[in-house]
Structure 1
Amino acid sequence: MKITGSRGLLRGVGALPLGALFALLVLIPLVLTLMLSFHQYDYQQGILPGYTVEHYLTIVTDDYFLRIFWRTLWISVVTTLLCVLIGGPEAYILSRMRRPWNSVFLLLVLSPLLVSLVVRAFGWTILLNPAGVLGQLAGWLGFGRLMYTPTAVIIALVHVMLPFMVIPVWTSLQKADPSAEQAAYSLGASRARVFWQIVAPQALPGVLSGSLIVFGLTASSFAIPALLGGSRQKMAASVVYDQFLIQLNWPLGAAIAMLLLVANVLIMMSYGRLVEGVYKRSLG
């Protein structure tokens, strides 16, 4: 009992530096941002010492901010769905590859992460503008202009977020037992049935974690919407940037950031519970 208690004490003491670092880098900034969001603000005098909920009321009643949050939501959902549809098959193919091709394919999947996000965004700007290759192709096919549209933002976001979907799904499939598929085939099961009853449940935890990562990063993305969406296709993070560095209305920017954080957490928790329920039912 004494040995067990001393081990628990040592673990608790060892966790103190990590807890202090977490509080310093995450909790304290969040608390300060929350307090800032309730401060009064005057465009002539700046931040005032009084407290108010006016900024939150402005956000939830102003059509401009509601459109921004709605655009952020549906672009994040569409990007996540496309990453699932593209990244899931990629991860399945990667899990079935043998050496050295699996290493080569994995390097290709991770290669976008080796390039700066801003550089990738400028690269898509070159490709999607009316004089670029994809911009001209879209014009010839009758799709119209791509730059400064939600389509351009989604295309670039899918390219950036795809590795964050492929890797979790691939990791889940790596842990799966391939003999289960072989046994199903030997019993006469079709490929579709094997996929939906054996492969899909095994990949579902990876799809869940990947979807949460992609959705959270997309909803808070700034560089790509700013460069490819322009002033007409702003997302929530772009508006936070505008309020902090252009309008200098820090309390309003902090309120938008806090609402974005709360909405992100609620949506991801609800989605996580939904997918976990589906996963448990599929196993049962």
Structure 2
Amino acid sequence: MASSANKAAWAMTAPGVIFFAALLGAPMIMTFLLSLHAYDFNAGVLPDWTLANYADVLGDSYFHKIFLRTFGLAALVTVICVLIGAPEAYVLSRLQNPWKSIFLLVVLGPLLISVVVRTLGWALFFGGNGVLTMVAQGLGFSDEPVSLMFTFTGMTIALVHVLVPFMVISVWASLQKIDPQSEDAAWTLGASKLTVLRRITLPQAMPGILSGSIIVFALTASAFATPAIIGGRRMKVVATAAYDEYLSTLNWPLGATIAVLLLVANVVIIVTYNKLVERRFAKVFE
């Protein structure tokens, strides 16, 4: 019986696995193979196999700076999204209908708008003649134009706005699984609200915080549209650097190499973070 059940499970999942492998696996393999080709500015992509592209990226301080900026930005955006999204999800989970539905729609509303449109809105706000300048001059904070375009701060604010709904959704989904009677029992036994939050609510919300932070980190590290518009060429990230190699210099192998290294670094950081956080909070909440 167990063998037939396993066969049925494999048969049911096989179409999805094959479809996933075809759409995601094949392009990734092709990108990796492309990164192993040599390149000549006159002849283009050469059939020769080489690891020179990886040596160029790993040994160049220019790319080191771009990778550090990218993952520093991803870490900062993730921390801010946790600080904003987790309390917001907690408050949202305590609301009653119709307010819960209304505020959930407000939180998820930005996801209905294209990320490019939202980023262009921030560009208008951050520009030298934008709303930020008018507000700063109107309040007397500055007589000169104030601009956050092409700055690390501007990219951080825009990406937090784009990605904080993913954190709220993840944490809110975990909080929905909490049995309210467990909190009521703790209060009945004399526990303070802070103790209930720390010993009961937070441990059960940790899977949502962990999954939300992984989603936000991965999306930030691989983001293209927002850094390209707000950061421009002054604040390049890995995704925009790979784009420039593909379409500006037409060095496809080097662009593929940057993309592969971004994927590998993302996977390593996320897996390491996942294990460290799980171990840490397992000890704290024992």
Structure 1 equivalent of residue 101 of structure 2: 103
The structure-2 alpha-carbon separation of the partners of 1:106 and 1:224, relative to structure 1 and needing over 3 Å to count, comes to: same
Q: 2:233 aligns to what SS in structure 1?
A: coil
Q: Is the contact between residue 95 and residue 174 of structure 1 (CA under 8 Å) also seen in structure 2?
A: yes
- Bigger shift: 189-198 or 222-231? 189-198
Structure 1 equivalent of residue 225 of structure 2: 223
Give the Å deviation of 1:147: 1.2
Q: Is the contact between residue 161 and residue 214 of structure 1 (CA under 8 Å) also seen in structure 2?
A: yes
Q: 1:49 aligns to what SS in structure 2?
A: strand
Does 1:22 find its partner at 2:20?
Answer: yes
Q: 2:244 aligns with which of 232, 242, 245?
A: 242
TM-score, reference length from structure 2 = 0.94
Alignment of 1:145-184 (within 5 A): 145-184=147-186
Q: Is the contact between residue 40 and residue 49 of structure 1 (CA under 8 Å) also seen in structure 2?
A: yes
- Bigger shift: 72-81 or 194-203? 194-203
Give the Å deviation of 1:138: 5.1
Q: Is the contact between residue 130 and residue 136 of structure 1 (CA under 8 Å) also seen in structure 2?
A: no
Q: Can you give the 5+ residue segments of structure 1 that lack an aligned partner in the other structure?
A: none
Alignment of 1:76-91 (within 5 A): 76-91=74-89
Q: Is the contact between residue 78 and residue 216 of structure 2 (CA under 8 Å) also seen in structure 1?
A: yes
The one-letter code sitting in structure 1 at the alignment partner of 2:158 is A
The one-letter code sitting in structure 2 at the alignment partner of 1:240 is A
Does 1:34 find its partner at 2:32?
Answer: yes
Q: Is the contact between residue 201 and residue 282 of structure 1 (CA under 8 Å) also seen in structure 2?
A: no
Q: Is the contact between residue 39 and residue 48 of structure 1 (CA under 8 Å) also seen in structure 2?
A: yes
Q: 1:181 aligns to what SS in structure 2?
A: helix
Q: Is the contact between residue 127 and residue 146 of structure 2 (CA under 8 Å) also seen in structure 1?
A: no
Identity of aligned residues (%): 50
Distance 1:7 1:180 in 2: 37
The one-letter code sitting in structure 2 at the alignment partner of 1:223 is A
Q: Can you give the 5+ residue segments of structure 2 that lack an aligned partner in the other structure?
A: none
Q: 2:5 aligns with which of 7, 16, 30?
A: 7
Structure 2 equivalent of residue 277 of structure 1: 279
Distance 2:47 2:8 in 1: 44
Give the Å deviation of 1:144: 5.0
Q: 2:48 aligns to what SS in structure 1?
A: strand
Does 1:64 find its partner at 2:66?
Answer: no
The structure-2 alpha-carbon separation of the partners of 1:10 and 1:53, relative to structure 1 and needing over 3 Å to count, comes to: same
Structure 2 equivalent of residue 50 of structure 1: 48
Distance 2:180 2:117 in 1: 40
Q: 1:50 aligns to what SS in structure 2?
A: strand
TM-score, reference length from structure 1 = 0.95
- Bigger shift: 134-143 or 252-261? 134-143
Q: Is the contact between residue 138 and residue 146 of structure 1 (CA under 8 Å) also seen in structure 2?
A: no
The one-letter code sitting in structure 2 at the alignment partner of 1:105 is F
- Bigger shift: 250-259 or 136-145? 136-145
Distance 2:11 2:199 in 1: 46
Q: What is the RMSD computed on CA atoms of the aligned residues?
A: 1.6
Structure 1 equivalent of residue 266 of structure 2: 264
Q: Is the contact between residue 128 and residue 146 of structure 2 (CA under 8 Å) also seen in structure 1?
A: no
Distance 1:39 1:236 in 2: 20
Q: Is the contact between residue 83 and residue 162 of structure 1 (CA under 8 Å) also seen in structure 2?
A: yes
Q: 2:122 aligns with which of 121, 124, 127?
A: 124
Distance 2:53 2:37 in 1: 9
Distance 1:186 1:6 in 2: 50
Structure 1 equivalent of residue 257 of structure 2: 255
Runs of 4+ residues over 4 Å off in structure 1: none
Distance 2:100 2:109 in 1: 14
Distance 1:138 1:245 in 2: 38
Alignment size in residue pairs: 282
